[in-house]
Homo-oligomer: A and B are copies of this chain.
Amino acid sequence: MTMNTVVKLARRPQGHVQREDFTITQEPLAELKDGEIRVATQYISLDPAMRGWMNDAKSYVPPVGIGETMRAFAAGTVEASRNPKFKEGDTVSGLIGAQSHAVSDGQNVVKADTSLAPLQTWVGGLGMPGLTAYLGLTYVGEPKEGETLVVSAASGAVGQVVGQIGKIYGCRTVGIAGGPDKCAALTSEFGYDAAVDYKGGWLADDLKAACPDGIDVDFENVGGDILDTVLAQMNFRGRIAICGLISAYNATSPVPGPYNFRSVLVNRLRVQGFIVFDFIKKYPEAYEKLGTWHKEGKLKFKEDVREGGLEAFPDVLKMLYTGENFGKLILKV
C-alpha cells in the first residue's frame, strides 16, 4: 500500500532552520471525498517566505501549526480524481504542502500546461516567483523606460525574472548577488546590464559604479546592509518595492531598520511592501505575459533542482538562507 510522506512542523525554529524543526512521517492515504483530487507531488518549491510561516507571529498568512503539514507550493500529477474539472494524468501546481500525496478540493491548484514549460517551471518562473516578479515590478516598482532598476538576490527565483522583465520595460538593470559565479550569471544568463557582488567588500562603491545615474527603482528581496546601501543612492521620487527582507528572517533579536531611512524623506521615496496574493485579480494577465515572453525566448528561468526527496526538505530549505542555491530552488520528490 502506498503511503503519504509528510513533512510536518515539529517546533518553532530559533534563528536558522534546523533539521529538528521538522518531523517526516508516513501516513496512510486518505479516501477521496466527492469533489476532491489526489496529486502525486513531483516538485516542491522552497521559498524564503517559509521561514516566516514557521513563526508564531502576526503575518500575511496564519503560521503553520505545530504538528501540521508544512505549507509549500508544489507541482505534480493527478493520480485520482472525484472532481469533474480534473482527470487522472492532469498536471497541476498550487499550495498543496510538503508531502508526497496531496488531497485537494481543486480550489488551490491550477492546471500546469507542460507544453508551455516543463512541470518544474510551474513552481518557478510560471509559478509564484514569476507572478511575484511581474506583479511587484509592474504595479509597485512602476519602472519607466530609461530608468535604473536595482534588484537584490538577483539570481534568485524572483530576482532573475525581475531583471529580465526590467529589460523588456527598457530599464538599465543592475543585479546584486553573492559571489563571482552568481554575478557572472546575472549578466550572461539573465541579461542584467551590470552585476554587483555584495560579498566583494565594496558594495557602496561597486553599486555606485554600476548605477552612474543613481537608482530609480529598487526591487528589494534582502533588506539589511543592501537596502541601506541602496537607500543612499536612490534618486528623487524613486520607488522601493519590498518583496522580501530575507536578511532578517532568521534573526532572534530586534534588527535595526535602515540607517539611511532619512532618504525616504529627502528624496521623497515611495517604499511599499507587497506579496503576490495582493494581486490575485491580475494573475491571468501575469500568466499571459510570462507565458508569452517565455515562449518568445525573452524570459529564461534558471532552476536549481535538488534530489533527495522529502527527507531532504529541511536541508534544502536551509540553503535559501545561506545563499547556497543558484536560481529557483526546487526539491524533486
Contacts and interface: CB of A to CB of B under 8 A. Distances in A.
Interface of A: 58-60, 223, 228, 242-245, 248, 254-262, 264-275, 278
Interface secondary structure of A, over-half rule: loop
A242 to B, nearest CB: 5
B270 A248 contact: no
Contact of A278 (B242, B248, B261, B268): B268
Contacts of A271: 264, 270-272
A261 B266 contact: no
Contacts of A278: 268
A278 B266 CA distance: 12
A247 to B, nearest CB: 11
Contacts of A228: 257
B223 A266 contact: no
A281 B142 CA distance: 23
A60 B266 contact: yes
A46 to B, nearest CB: 19
Nearest to A57: B266
A264 B248 CA distance: 13
Contacts of A264: 242, 271-273
A184 B292 CA distance: 62
B248 A262 contact: yes
Nearest to A272: B270
Contacts of A59: 266
B272 A268 contact: yes
Given A257-B256, A257-B259, A257-B260, A58 B265 contact: no
Nearest to A269: B273
A261 B85 CA distance: 43
Given A255-B262, A261-B261, 17 more contacts: A60-B266, A60-B267, A60-B268, A223-B261, A242-B265, A245-B261, A248-B262, A257-B257, A257-B259, A257-B261, A265-B275, A267-B273, A268-B275, A268-B278, A269-B273, A270-B271, A271-B271
Q: Which 5 residue pairs are nearest across A and B when measured between Cβ atoms?
A: A257-B257, A256-B256, A257-B261, A265-B273, A257-B258
